[in-house]
Amino acid sequence: MRLLTMATAAIMAASPVMADLVFPSLSYRTGPYAANGIPFADGYEDYFTLLNERDGGIGGVAARVIECETGYNTEKGVECYEATKGEGALVYQPLSTGITYQLIPKATADGIPVHSMGYGRTSAKNGAVFSNIFNYPANYWDGASHAVNHILDENGGDISGKKIALVYHNSAYGKEPIRTLTELSGKHGFELMEVAVDHPGQEQKSQWLQIRQQRPDYVLMWGWGVMNQVAIQEAANIRFPMDKFIGIWWSGSENDVLPAGDGADGYKALTFHNLGKDYPLFDDLQKYVVDAGKAAGAGDQVGTALYNRGMYAAMLAAEAAKTAQGIHGTAEITPAMMRDGMEALEITEAKMTELGLPGFGPEFSVSCENHGGNGLGAVAQWDAGAGEWNLITGYEASDQEVIGALVEEDSGAFAAENGITPSCS
């Protein structure tokens, strides 16, 4: 279904020269997190290239990706934001919780939306407080709940007395799930064991010695970059059962498991989108982008977990832009209009099928009260023999009774500290 109205089409026809729709990419192709930053950046840019080459842009206007290297450094990320916001930037994807925290006040003051997809400040789900920050389709607290729900399912709904360890990147990112897991431990009666790993995570001998000694029933991981592959190798070294080791979606790429070889077989990771490239859209990516020599990278990342995530982020941005064009009756949208499109975004299975991605992601909708979507997530498992990830669950709900209360509490505290009157008028 076309979102552009006849009025929009008429405006486009009357405006032969249009400014590009600008989508900055705060990437990191260098440093200890490059192996994970590269495929995301490739997928993000390739999708917009596809829209330009196949469709003539978005609503007849070309999309332009401005890539700025952050090295996963918060200060550099803020510098990239300041250097690119004047280019007409419609939405920022920081790909860093630290950068996101710094951009929340800046982008809000500048009237530019931020999409911290599956990361960042979880309570930004409350759009009445965080007007310009979005984190759909799921957030870290959803992820913590998805992991616990999976453990509950494996144990007949009773995990009282179980010990669950959280191995986490010692940063704002890694600390995000602790509050939720603490609440869930009280609700379900499990013991939470916290194990911090300092940046970048190349040395973890002492942490895994602690795990071997204390023998938790399950290990959850909030890691990124080299930390993930080191942790999985160390887990294999101490013979920790991989099917009891569950990573957040940022700890579930091919780069994380391949270095451990067969030792990684059975490792699990959460996800909010599907895996592989058996979708019609990837045929178009191959034809219009890779084979045409227009890929952002070497083309060797297409279909990998993080390439798919970058592509999915770009698809959601493009659909929000289309929604904004329809709402405002113009193809040349502003950042404020883009924000409106993001807040009115609705992703259905019919829409995903139309885009060539049937079954690729969960259905969700966004509103002023809810900038985080429906919070659905799934569990994937690594098959070392086949060299691929496979979904082993459907997209399932998180514990909104616990998470909703935490979002309300945290966003309310933020509003009070910053003199914000929550509003959805």
Nearest to 210 by CA among 238, 185, 176, 179: 238
| Rounded-to-integer distance, Cα 91 and Cα 319, Å | 12
Q: What letter does residue 377 receive in the DSSP assignment? A: B
User: What is the predicted pLDDT for the residue at 18?
Assistant: 61
User: What is the predicted pLDDT for the residue at 32?
Assistant: 85
DSSP codes, 329-366 = T-SS--HHHHHHHHHT-EE-HHHHHHTT-TTSS--EE-
Q: Which pLDDT tens digit goes with each residue over 168-185?
A: 999 989 999 999 999 999
For residue 129, the Cα-to-chain-centroid distance in whole angstroms is 21
User: What is the predicted pLDDT for the residue at 19?
Assistant: 80
164 in Cβ contact with 150 (< 8 Å): no
Question: Does pLDDT of 9 surpass 70?
Answer: no
Question: Does pLDDT of 14 surpass 50?
Answer: no
Question: Does pLDDT of 3 surpass 60?
Answer: no
Across the chain, which distance is largest between two alpha carbons, in Å? 71
Neighbours of 424 (CB within 10 A): 13
User: What is the predicted pLDDT for the residue at 11?
Assistant: 38
Q: Which pLDDT tens digit goes with each residue over 184-214?
A: 999 999 999 999 999 999 999 999 999 999 9
Q: Which amino acid is located at 79 in the chain?
A: E
Question: Does pLDDT of 219 surpass 80?
Answer: yes
Which tokens in the block code for residue 84?
A: 């690119």
Question: Mean per-residue pLDDT for 341-354?
Answer: 98
34 in Cβ contact with 306 (< 8 Å): no
User: What is the predicted pLDDT for the residue at 56?
Assistant: 98
Question: Does pLDDT of 230 surpass 70?
Answer: yes
Question: Mean per-residue pLDDT for 295-321?
Answer: 96
User: What is the predicted pLDDT for the residue at 6?
Assistant: 35
Domains, the chain, ranges and CATH? 2-139+275-375+409-418 (3.40.50.2300), 140-274+378-404 (3.40.50.2300)
| Rounded-to-integer distance, Cα 73 and Cα 112, Å | 21
When the pLDDT of each residue in the chain is averaged and rounded to a whole number, the result is 94
| Rounded-to-integer distance, Cα 217 and Cα 214, Å | 9
314 in Cβ contact with 48 (< 8 Å): yes
4 versus 45: the higher-pLDDT residue is 45
